[in-house]
Amino acid sequence: MNSYKFPTTLCVLFCLLACHLPRLQAQVHPADYNAALKLLKLKEFAIRGAKNDSIYFLATLPDKKKKTIIFCQGSGPVPLVINLKDGLCGVFPFRVDSATRSEFNIVIISKPGLKRYATDTDLSPELAKQGQYLQLDSTNRPPQKYTDNNKLYVLGDNSIKVIQFLKKQTWVDKDNIYIYGHSQGAIVAAYVAAKDPQDIKKVIYSQGNAYGVYAGYLSAMIYNQQAMPDVTKKMDSIYRIHTALINGTPDKEMADLYQWKEADLTDKKNNDFYDLCYGGWRSLEEPTAIEYLLKINCPILLVQGLNSPSDIDNKNIPLDFARHRKHNLTTLFYPGYDHNFFKAVTDEKGNQMAPEFHWDDVFGDVKRWLDK
């Protein structure tokens, strides 16, 4: 059983940096954070980051020396541990079974400014109905500290500090540290592997548009053009704001432009701009992830659901690698899978059924690649 509801917005235009999707692990209600960690079989660590801020992260219970996967979350102000009235959510979108735990340490880093432990009252109730568990206030805004730090170089540098800590631990095989990023987290993973190549054995790049946020918007618009009136106007809007960004328009003016674009391009009910309109666009866009990917020399696995319109530009990543005479890229393309590895299902009469969720299948393929 999982906690996902299939929102009507899933195939709508702006799903480029979809949030991390927690899954219902058990219909149990731990009393507090420590009790939740015990049930999830996770341990919390805290280290010092920039400006003496703490960087918190969770790891599967460390014991013997093992290979280690650092999982970089997708976008959105999602707390690490979520204890709902329906039950306790798992921290990872994939199942971490005993066989996985025996082979790997799995690590996930909390985003700055967010709660590590949250209940229903800490989350946006409307979005929670759609299966999106986001820490937003009554005006649908995330905490200011999250907003200020939701930038590629902050998230990436925090990850590098965690890796440096892990390398000193007796339960970590420092020669086998892998970084696995999904959606926005994929861009973080590419940044980390390019900036800290000596510490990363392999990279998994999953569903992050390597050519930038705006390229993803344009691709999704073209893909959905029959359902979207006045496509030219909307595309011109994207060109305008992207040009402003490239020309170095100050953040305050960019924020004003983005609010204008948000009002122009989306209806409020299906708004998916909560993350990008709070300071993250510039660091995600310049340089784009393809520039980081091309600097990486260790093996890279490109994971791509082919029914993900805003990520479809990633089909060009292998071509760019060939142009640069690089041969360290492996691809896993999944027909019919969307951005979060849902696959549409119909019955024998052609009626739409609840979609199948394939994160566990994908993670199994990832582990097999890591073991090669």
Rounded (10°) angle between helices 152-166 and 184-195: 60
Q: Which two tokens stand for residue 253?
A: 């003016």
Q: Is the dihedral of CA 33, 101, 135, 6 positive or negative?
A: negative
pLDDT in tens, the chain (372 residues): 233 332 322 222 233 334 556 666 667 889 999 999 999 999 999 999 877 899 999 999 999 999 999 999 998 899 999 999 888 988 999 999 999 999 999 999 999 999 999 999 999 888 887 778 889 888 778 898 998 898 999 999 999 999 999 999 999 999 999 999 999 999 999 999 999 999 999 999 999 999 998 888 888 878 877 556 667 777 887 888 888 888 888 877 877 776 666 555 554 443 444 444 445 667 888 889 999 999 999 999 999 999 998 899 999 999 999 999 999 999 999 999 999 999 999 888 888 898 999 999 999 999 999 998
CA distances from 243 to 214, 239, 249, 359 (A): 10, 6, 9, 36
Q: Are 282 and 251 within 8 A, CB to CB?
A: yes
DSSP H helices, 104-183, are 125-128, 144-149, 152-166
Q: Which pairs with CB-CB distance under 8 Å and at least 24 residues apart come from 223-228?
A: 223/309, 223/312, 224/11, 224/12, 224/13, 224/309, 228/13
Nearest Cα residue to 43 out of 68, 60, 63, 28: 60
pLDDT of residue 86: 86
Nearest Cα residue to 310 out of 276, 355, 352, 282: 276
Q: Which two tokens stand for residue 239?
A: 């060109």
All structural domains of the chain with their residue ranges = 23-211+288-370, 214-282
pLDDT of residue 363: 98
pLDDT of residue 267: 43
DSSP H helices, the chain, are 33-40, 98-103, 125-128, 144-149, 152-166, 184-195, 213-223, 231-246, 251-265, 281-285, 289-293, 317-323, 359-370
Q: Identify the DSSP state of 226.
A: G
Burial 215-243 (b: 16+ CB within 10 A, else e): bbbbbbbebeeeeeeeeeebbebbeebbe
pLDDT of residue 328: 98
Can you tell me the distance from the alpha carbon of 157 to that of 182, in angstroms, rounded to the nearest whole number? 17
Say which CATH topology domain 23-211+288-370 has: Rossmann fold (3.40.50)
pLDDT of residue 203: 98
